[in-house]
Structure 1
Amino acid sequence: MMFQLKKNSERRGFTLIELMISIVIFVIFLGIVSQSYISIVRAQRRANEIRKMYSDVRIALDYISEEVRLSSIDYACYEGTGTNCEGVIQGTLFGGSTDHLALVRQGGTEKTFVKLDDEGHLVVKRLIRQEGEYVPAPGYETGYVSLTGDNVVFDHLSFSIFPDLNPYSNENIPGTDTPIYADNGTQFQPKVGVYMSASSPEGSAIEFDFDFQTTISSRVYSRAT
């Protein structure tokens, strides 16, 4: 009887070096995946914060735009001849530029003032005329009310008013006998340029700063009589 001897094949396992290399590769791969995930989360968080900021800025710009379209520039306030004009507004229109916006509805039924407060909030004050006198509009009994929340800080706010003389006024152009409304150099529909700079609040986890600019024309067509 013959027996056939079979040689057992060798079965090799991982060596220590191969195992260490595999672990290093896995750790590197895990680190890349983790870093990518963290970057995506941070980008999403930044996008959300910027979206909140844009929302506040949009609210402010939409409010100012609507008021300018439905109102007239209160030139009397800037000239210092108006009433209930907030003392800080009188005489602040230099070369068409000012940091306070004064508007008046047709017929003088309502006045609106917009400015930047010391805390970087865009604030507004509204007055309505009752029995010949201006009183705070409902919701504005305490004075100026903030249009924006705490998601954004306004570092700068200014308004460019053109023309800087009331184009509908019967008054003569200074130094001439020509009424303002009759001069070709002032016959432009009043418009307001809005310039603002906004940034993230102090201590915010996400830092950003942006500049915004827009121009709005008044839709009120009337001449003083």
Structure 2
Amino acid sequence: MATPWGGDLVIICIFLAIAAPLTTAIGVNYGTKGDNLPPPATVAAFLANRTIIDRVKLFDNNPDIVRAFAGTGISVMVTAANGDIPSLATKEGAAAWVAANVAPYYPATEISLVAVGNEIMDTADQNLIGNLVPAMRTLKAALVAAGYRRIRVSTPSSLGILVDSQPPSATRFRDGRDVVPFFAVLKGKERKLIPSVTSPTYASLVYPARAIRFGSRPGLISTFPMHP
């Protein structure tokens, strides 16, 4: 029997985001895969009034959900779909995306970050992988041109781009041509795009609860220190 919150909605994966030096924010993923889900306005009001959560990551840019967080003071990360990446790599496509997905809601909804795709390296789609960094650059330029300089750009990645993740001190990037474009996000000018938990420029998705539940790498919970 489904719970009122559904299978993948809110509070499935709590994450820490480093918003500024010496400042720790608490956020949740807001997924919509489930049934009997409460309306977005109910979720937004609950998070704003009944919790200390002040960050929300959306896995898409659903207008009803984005609009629901207007005036709540909660910082929102919206996500551009994987399929949008080739278009976002063009000046016209990036400008159109900003006009459609940021301008109608900002600043009433505090959109602080745009995630370009989700776990692109795991798709093995060379067109998406090759266009990822250009899309991030072009989207950031489009945000600045539209007057949204404070909105940052990132791309979430799974730990699949790493090998030897246990112990954490042994971790390194795996070999492979597909991860080479990703290195551009970790150095040079791309370092200015976004600070995040694991590096200045990208977000790494870690689900220790799932690892423990399915008996896979339970030691993963020690990957990040409790006091960064």
TM norm. shorter chain > 0.5: no
Greater relative contact order: 1 or 2 (C-alpha under 8 angstroms, separation 6 or more)? 1
Write 1 or 2 for the structure with the bigger share of strand.
Answer: 1
Superposition TM-score, scaled by structure 2 size: 0.21
Q: Which has the higher helix share?
A: 2
